[in-house]
Structure 1
Amino acid sequence: MKRSPRDSLETTRKMTRRGLILGGAQAGFMGLLALRMRHLQVEEADKFRLLAEENRIKVSLIPPSRGQIFDRNGRIVAENAPSYRITMVREDAGDVEAVIGRLMKLIELDPDEMARALDELNTLRGDTQVTVADRVSREAMSRVAVNAPALPGVTPEVGLSRHYPLGSDLAHVVGYVGPVSDYDLSKIDNPDQLLLTPRFQIGKIGLEAKHEEDLRGKAGIKQVEVNAAGREMRELDREEGRAGQDFQITVDHMLQNYVQARLGQESAAAVVIDCESGDLLAIASAPSFDPNLFVRGISTTDYRALTENQFRPLATKSVQGLYPPGSTFKMVAALAGLEAGIITPLDTHYCGGYTEVAGHRFHCWKRAGHGHVNLASSLRESCDVYYYNLALEVGIEKISAMAMRLGIGQKFDIPMSAVATGRAPTKAWKQKSFGKDWVIGDSVNASIGQGFVLASPLQLAVMSARIATGRALVPRLVKSIDGVEQPSGAGESLGLNENHLRHVRKAMFDVSNNRRGTAYGSRITAAGMQMAGKTGTSQVRNITAAERRAGVRSNRDLPWERRDHALFVDFAPYDNPKVAVAVVVEHGGGGSTTAAPIARDITLQALYGEDPPLSAYPAKDRARIAAQQKRLRQARPASDRDGNGRA
Structure 2
Amino acid sequence: MLKASEQDVQKVFTRRALVLAGGKLALIGALGARLYYLQVVEADRYELLSRGNQFNLELLPPVRGRILDRNGVALADNQDNFRVEIVREQTDDVAATLSALRSIIEVPDWDVRRVLKDVKRKRAFVPVTVVENLTREEIARVAVNAPYLPGIRIEVGRSRRYPFADTAVHITGYVAAVSESELTGDPVLELPDFRIGKSGIEKLHDLGMRGTAGRRQVEVNALGRIIRKLPGEDGEPGRDVKLTLDINLQRYATERLSRGNAERLPTEDPRAQLALAQAEPAMRDLYADRQTVLVDAEGKVIEAESGSAVVMDVHTGELRALASAPGYDPNPFNRGLSAKDWEELLTNPRGPLNNKAVSGQYPPGSTFKMLVMLAALESGLAGPDTKFFCPGHLTLGDTRFHCWSRYGHGWLDMKQSIAQSCDVYYYELAKRIGIDRISSIAKRFGLGELTGVDIPGERRGLVPSREWKLATTGVPWQMGETLVAAIGQGFNLATPLQLALMTARLVNGGKAVVPHIEFPNGPPEAAEDMAVDTRHLEAVRVAMSEVVNGPRGTARKIQGSPDDVKIGGKTGTAQVRRITMADRASGAYKEEKPWRFRDHALFVGFGPVEAPRYAVAVVVEHGGGGSSMAAPIGADVLREALRIDPPGPTASGESGAPTPERQDG
User: TM over 0.5: same fold?
Assistant: yes
Contact 1:206 1:415 in 2 (8 A): no
Name the SS for the 1:535 alignment partner: strand
- CA 1:181–1:463 in 2, change beyond 3 Å: closer, same or farther? same
Please, what is the CA RMSD of the aligned residues? 3.6
**5+ residue gaps, structure 2:** 1-38, 259-303, 648-665
Verify: 1:224 aligned to 2:224, yes or no.
Answer: no
Contact 1:79 1:164 in 2 (8 A): yes
- CA 1:158–1:229 in 2, change beyond 3 Å: closer, same or farther? farther
Contact 2:388 2:428 in 1 (8 A): yes
1:311 deviates by 2.4
- CA 1:340–1:101 in 2, change beyond 3 Å: closer, same or farther? same
Deviations 1:157-207, CA, capped at 9 Å, x for gaps: 42110111122211111111122234x52xx6x353222333532222211
- CA 1:128–1:489 in 2, change beyond 3 Å: closer, same or farther? farther
Paired with 1:120 and 1:576, the residues of 2 have a C-alpha distance of 66
Name the SS for the 2:502 alignment partner: helix
Verify: 1:251 aligned to 2:213, yes or no.
Answer: no
Indicate the residue corresponding to 1:504 in structure 2.
Answer: 540
- CA 1:437–1:160 in 2, change beyond 3 Å: closer, same or farther? same
Name the SS for the 1:395 alignment partner: helix
Indicate the residue corresponding to 2:640 in structure 1.
Answer: 605
Paired with 1:143 and 1:436, the residues of 2 have a C-alpha distance of 78
1:212 deviates by 1.3
Indicate the residue corresponding to 1:533 in structure 2.
Answer: 569
Paired with 1:58 and 1:266, the residues of 2 have a C-alpha distance of 56
Paired with 1:545 and 1:216, the residues of 2 have a C-alpha distance of 60
Paired with 1:144 and 1:403, the residues of 2 have a C-alpha distance of 69
Name the SS for the 1:576 alignment partner: coil
Q: 2:59 aligns with which of 58, 61, 64?
A: 61
1:40 deviates by 10
Segments of 4+ moved more than 6 angstroms: 33-37, 93-99, 117-130, 143-148, 228-231
Indicate the residue corresponding to 2:167 in structure 1.
Answer: 169
AA at the equivalent of 2:438: I
Indicate the residue corresponding to 2:233 in structure 1.
Answer: 239
- CA 1:126–1:438 in 2, change beyond 3 Å: closer, same or farther? farther
1:450 deviates by 0.2
Indicate the residue corresponding to 1:195 in structure 2.
Answer: 189
Verify: 1:585 aligned to 2:620, yes or no.
Answer: yes
AA at the equivalent of 1:585: V
Paired with 1:120 and 1:456, the residues of 2 have a C-alpha distance of 49
Contact 1:269 1:285 in 2 (8 A): yes
AA at the equivalent of 1:72: R
1:134 deviates by 2.3
1:297 deviates by 1.6
Paired with 1:496 and 1:60, the residues of 2 have a C-alpha distance of 62
Deviations 1:31-65, CA, capped at 9 Å, x for gaps: xx99999x999xx89x96x89xxx94332221110
- CA 1:192–1:367 in 2, change beyond 3 Å: closer, same or farther? same
TM-score, structure 2 as length reference: 0.76
Q: 1:476 aligns with which of 512, 516, 541?
A: 516
Q: 1:398 aligns with which of 434, 437, 440?
A: 437
Contact 1:205 1:417 in 2 (8 A): yes
1:581 deviates by 0.4
Paired with 1:231 and 1:142, the residues of 2 have a C-alpha distance of 24
AA at the equivalent of 1:356: T
Q: Percent identity?
A: 41
Verify: 1:315 aligned to 2:385, yes or no.
Answer: no
TM-score, structure 1 as length reference: 0.78
AA at the equivalent of 2:587: G
Paired with 1:412 and 1:118, the residues of 2 have a C-alpha distance of 53
Verify: 1:412 aligned to 2:451, yes or no.
Answer: yes
Paired with 1:420 and 1:240, the residues of 2 have a C-alpha distance of 42
Deviations 1:361-389, CA, capped at 9 Å, x for gaps: 11100111111222111101101011112
Paired with 1:236 and 1:58, the residues of 2 have a C-alpha distance of 10
Q: 2:73 aligns with which of 72, 75, 99?
A: 75
Contact 1:129 1:198 in 2 (8 A): no
1:135 deviates by 2.6
Instruction: Count matched residues.
Output: 556
- CA 1:371–1:70 in 2, change beyond 3 Å: closer, same or farther? same
1:441 deviates by 1.4
Paired with 1:611 and 1:125, the residues of 2 have a C-alpha distance of 64
Paired with 2:71 and 2:635, the residues of 1 have a C-alpha distance of 24
- CA 1:543–1:558 in 2, change beyond 3 Å: closer, same or farther? same
Name the SS for the 1:479 alignment partner: coil
Contact 2:453 2:514 in 1 (8 A): no
AA at the equivalent of 1:428: E
Write out aligned runs for 1:225-624 (5 A): 225-227=219-221, 232-264=226-258, 265-469=304-508, 470-479=510-519, 485=521, 488=524, 491-526=527-562, 529-554=565-590, 557-609=592-644
Paired with 1:462 and 1:401, the residues of 2 have a C-alpha distance of 16
Paired with 1:408 and 1:177, the residues of 2 have a C-alpha distance of 32
AA at the equivalent of 1:412: T
Name the SS for the 1:173 alignment partner: helix
Paired with 1:412 and 1:388, the residues of 2 have a C-alpha distance of 28
Indicate the residue corresponding to 2:272 in structure 1.
Answer: none
1:432 deviates by 2.3
Contact 1:61 1:219 in 2 (8 A): yes
Paired with 2:554 and 2:194, the residues of 1 have a C-alpha distance of 54
- CA 1:539–1:499 in 2, change beyond 3 Å: closer, same or farther? same
Indicate the residue corresponding to 1:158 in structure 2.
Answer: 156
